[in-house]
Amino acid sequence: MRILVHDHSGHPFQAELSRELARRGHSVTHSYVAGYVCGKGRLKAQPDESITFEAIGSDKPIQNLKIVERLGREIRRGVELIQHVRRVDADIVMVSNVQIPTLVIFAFAMAVMRRPWVLWHQDVYAVALRSFVGTKLSPVFRLAAVVFEVAERWCSCRAAAIVAISPAFVPVHERWGTAGKTSVIPNWAPVDEIVPVERDNAWAKEHSLDGTKTLLYAGTLGLKHDHALLTELAKAVHDLGEPVRLVVVNEGHAVPAIEASAERLDVPLTRLPFQPYEQLPQVLGSGDILVVVLDREAGAFSVPSKTLSYLCAGRPVLGIMPPENLASELISRTGGGVVAPGPDALHEAAEWCVAMLRDADARAEVGRASRQLAESEFALSGCANRFETLLHEAAGIPQPTAIRVPKPRRGWRTGRQRTRQAKTSAA
């Protein structure tokens, strides 16, 4: 089967799924937006791989804060995506992390061409925007929030199938009338590509991070991330008597504010651009505590994928995020820190960090639990089975009765085993 997977962001686990589908004999093209600045996965085919990777649009870094310019660009990107679809001529197309204006153009054109497609729903943009309208955005955006929800619902209705990354998305699709074609397949992380490494590794030494305790954040910083928490947390830890360096691996509009805040609060800061994906294990390995922040308004409708990569790295994770978020549940299971956003969040988070930074054995234990959880939960094989079946059904192409499926790696549980365990736990 010819499959086109378009992930706007170019994240690691989407690329890993495409590679797995290609290994199973499908002709797979994986595309992404060249100019979107974030931590990207391995987006180049190796000599022994049959998969094709393609970038869409200009590689000029995208600035998302200019609203009118952004709207025009996302409409143009919809046209570019349709041209890409026509050129690849796949049996089925699956899209992920696509902005609403782009998605509307895409969905309309796919309906005209009578081509099936699958929505891999990573964020419910309409819910997120409506939540932020009353707190971070001007009232002028209220109408935009309503329009976006109508548009996102319309696009969902046009999709042949929908993959939601969390059960929290299901009530939204029930309201939209699309729950009947929605399947929940949680995200995973590339366990084989992001592995635990020594704390004082070559990358840490190169950036003078060996021999100093660090709080590390690596990933995007958007509206749903309160970047001020990073410097304020480092300051609170220092005030409790534990000197610590804040390491932020990020590019974008939040960088000047972080640097200014660090200078104002006298927080030692190492700020670096996004690093090559091959170095990600060493980057994450150089953090004594890996930090993820998510605003309360994001609730359960945005599951930070960086959390999954953090767990793979085998380091303690601190999440300042809503407790109902799926990532919070994962962090809690490792013994990591989960603090709900609020007035006392910083003090509580800082106390947890200090206790962890002063106890090397505790850090090692939580780190091992993080890696063990990643190995047991992030089983690509079971997820790929479900995606493969879903894509066949959406394309209207019968799945071969005898498909060679790679055996799960040692220590992994298949999707069926996890389902059975969940039923047993519920009972």
Q: Comparing C-alpha atoms, which of 234, 226, 184 is closest to residue 419? A: 184
Band the pLDDT of 143: cuts 50, 70, 90. confident
144/265 same-domain check:
no
231/348 same-domain check:
yes
What is the rounded average pLDDT for all residues in the chain? 87
Task: Give a yes or no: residue 197 inside a domain.
Answer: no
Band the pLDDT of 259: cuts 50, 70, 90. very high
Cβ neighbours, 10 Å, residue 134? 12
234/274 same-domain check:
yes
Residue range 263-273: mean pLDDT, rounded: 96
36/169 same-domain check:
yes
Whether residue 422 is predicted with pLDDT greater than 50 in this model: the reply is: no
Check which CATH number belongs to the domain holding 273 and give it: 3.40.50.2000
**Which of 36-45, 172-181, 223-232, 312-321 is predicted least confidently?**
223-232
Backbone angles phi, psi at 3, to 5 degrees: -125, 135
Q: Which pair of tokens denotes residue 341?
A: 């956003």
Whether residue 412 is predicted with pLDDT greater than 50 in this model: the reply is: no
Whether residue 154 is predicted with pLDDT greater than 80 in this model: the reply is: yes
Q: Find the largest Cα–Cα distance for the chain.
A: 64
119 SS3 class: strand
pLDDT score at 409:
43
Higher pLDDT, 169 or 425: 169
| Distance (Å, whole) CA 98 – CA 104 | 10
223/342 same-domain check:
yes
Which stretch of DSSP H or E encloses residue 184?
strand 182-184
pLDDT score at 414:
37
Task: Give a yes or no: residue 315 inside a domain.
Answer: yes
87/176 same-domain check:
yes
112/215 same-domain check:
no
- Given a contact cutoff of 8 angstroms between Cβ atoms, the answer to whether 316 and 290 are in contact is yes
51/158 same-domain check:
yes
Task: Calculate what percentage of the chain has a pLDDT beyond 70.
Answer: 85
81/224 same-domain check:
no
- Given a contact cutoff of 8 angstroms between Cβ atoms, the answer to whether 18 and 51 are in contact is yes
Q: Comparing C-alpha atoms, which of 93, 116, 12, 3 is closest to residue 51? A: 3
Q: Comparing C-alpha atoms, which of 234, 267, 271, 275 is closest to residue 256? A: 271
Band the pLDDT of 305: cuts 50, 70, 90. confident
Task: Give a yes or no: residue 322 inside a domain.
Answer: yes
- Given a contact cutoff of 8 angstroms between Cβ atoms, the answer to whether 196 and 397 are in contact is no
**Which of 98-102, 184-188, 221-225 is predicted least confidently?**
221-225
Task: Give a yes or no: residue 92 inside a domain.
Answer: yes
**Which of 8-17, 37-46, 155-164, 200-209 is predicted least confidently?**
37-46
Mark which of 342, 358, 376 sits at the end of a domain.
Answer: 376
| Distance (Å, whole) CA 147 – CA 326 | 28
Band the pLDDT of 34: cuts 50, 70, 90. confident
| Distance (Å, whole) CA 333 – CA 331 | 5
256/365 same-domain check:
yes
Residue range 349-362: mean pLDDT, rounded: 97
pLDDT score at 425:
37
pLDDT score at 420:
39
Domain range enclosing 135:
2-188+379-422
Whether residue 60 is predicted with pLDDT greater than 80 in this model: the reply is: no
Mark which of 360, 376, 392 sits at the end of a domain.
Answer: 376
- What is the radius of gyration, based on Cα positions, of the chain? 21
**Which of 19-23, 26-30, 326-330, 387-391 is predicted least confidently?**
326-330
Number of domains into which the chain is organized: 2
Task: Give a yes or no: residue 195 inside a domain.
Answer: no
146/257 same-domain check:
no
| Distance (Å, whole) CA 317 – CA 331 | 7
pLDDT score at 50:
95
Task: Give a yes or no: residue 241 inside a domain.
Answer: yes
Q: Comparing C-alpha atoms, which of 156, 154, 162 is closest to residue 184? A: 162
Task: Give a yes or no: residue 427 inside a domain.
Answer: no
Q: Which residues contact 327 (CB under 8 A, 6 or more apart)?
A: 292, 294, 303, 304, 307, 308, 319, 321
Task: Calculate what percentage of the chain has a pLDDT beyond 90.
Answer: 63
Q: Which residues contact 346 (CB under 8 A, 6 or more apart)?
A: 229, 232, 233, 236
Higher pLDDT, 368 or 343: 368
- Given a contact cutoff of 8 angstroms between Cβ atoms, the answer to whether 253 and 227 are in contact is no
Task: Give a yes or no: residue 254 inside a domain.
Answer: yes
pLDDT score at 423:
38
**Which of 41-55, 224-238, 376-390, 396-410 is predicted least confidently?**
396-410
- Given a contact cutoff of 8 angstroms between Cβ atoms, the answer to whether 22 and 30 are in contact is no
Residue type, 22: A
179/211 same-domain check:
no
Q: How is residue 399 annotated by DSSP? A: P
